[in-house]
Amino acid sequence: MSDKQEFEPRIIYILCSWCGSGGGETAAAHHLHYPENVRPYRVNCTGALPTVHIIRPLIEGADGVAISGCHPGDCHYNDGNFRARRRVALVKSILDTLDLEPERVWFRYVAHGEGRRFVDTATEFNDHIKKLGPNPLKTRSDT
C-alpha cells in the first residue's frame, strides 16, 4: 500500500452552534457515522469566526478546514453566514494568490435537521483531503 492510502488526515470541522452543530446532533440521533479524524470545533456563529482561526489550523497541524453554518437566510443572527462567506472567500483568495492550496478550505451550509448532509460533508471532505494528500505546511518546522 502506498503512503497516500494509509494517510489519515487531521480535519477541523468548524460548526456554528445553531445549524452546523445541530446537523451533528441530528446525525447522532439517527446513529449516522462520520470519520473519526474529523474534529468538530464549535463557534457561536460562523460570522463570529476570525479569519486567523481558519488559517491557524492549517499551520499548526490540520490537513483541511471545513466550515458549516446555516443556509442563507436562516442565520440565527440574520447575516452571520453572509459575513462568513465573505471571509472564507477572502482567505481562499489569499491562499490562491500565494499558491497555498485554497482547496483545503471548504464552506458548506448545513441546517439543523440535515444530519445526513452533515455526515456527507464530513465524509466527502475527508475523501477530498485524502486525495490531496498531507498538508505540507503543517509539517514544516521552518515557517
Partner 1 sequence: MLEGLKINKGAEEAVRDLLRSLLESGRVSGVLALGRTGGGNGGVAYSLFTDPDAFGADGVALPLLPFMPANAGGLLSRLTLKGPLAEPVAVVVKPCELRAFIELVKRNQGSPDNLLLISSTCGGVYPLEVGANDALEERLPGYWEAVKQGELDSDIRPTCRACVHFVPDNADITVALLGEADLDTQCALYLNTEKGSAFIEGLEDLQGTPLLGELEAEPIQRSRDQRAAYREELFAGVEAGLEGLIRTFGRCIGCHACKTVCPICYCSLCYFDSQDCEYRPEVYETELERKGGLRLPPNTIFFQLGRLAHVSVSCVGCGMCTDVCPADIPLSTIFSKVGDSVQALFDYQPGRDVTEEVPLMTFEEEELVQVAT
Which residues here bind partner 1, judged by CB under 8 A? 50-52, 55-56, 59-61, 72-73, 79, 82-83, 85-100, 106-109, 136-143
**What are the grid coordinates assigned to 137, written together?**
505546511
Q: Is 22 exposed, middle or buried (0-12, 13-18, 19+ CB in 10 A)?
A: buried
**What are the grid coordinates assigned to 53, written together?**
482561526
| Residue (25 or 89) nearer to partner 1, CB | 89
CA distance 15 to 22: 9
| Residue (17 or 53) nearer to partner 1, CB | 53
- What's the min distance (Å) between Cβ of 21 and partner 1? 18
| Residue (28 or 87) nearer to partner 1, CB | 87
Listed in sequence order, the DSSP H helices in 20-135 are 20-29, 52-59, 80-97, 115-132
- What's the min distance (Å) between Cβ of 127 and partner 1? 13
- What's the min distance (Å) between Cβ of 15 and partner 1? 15
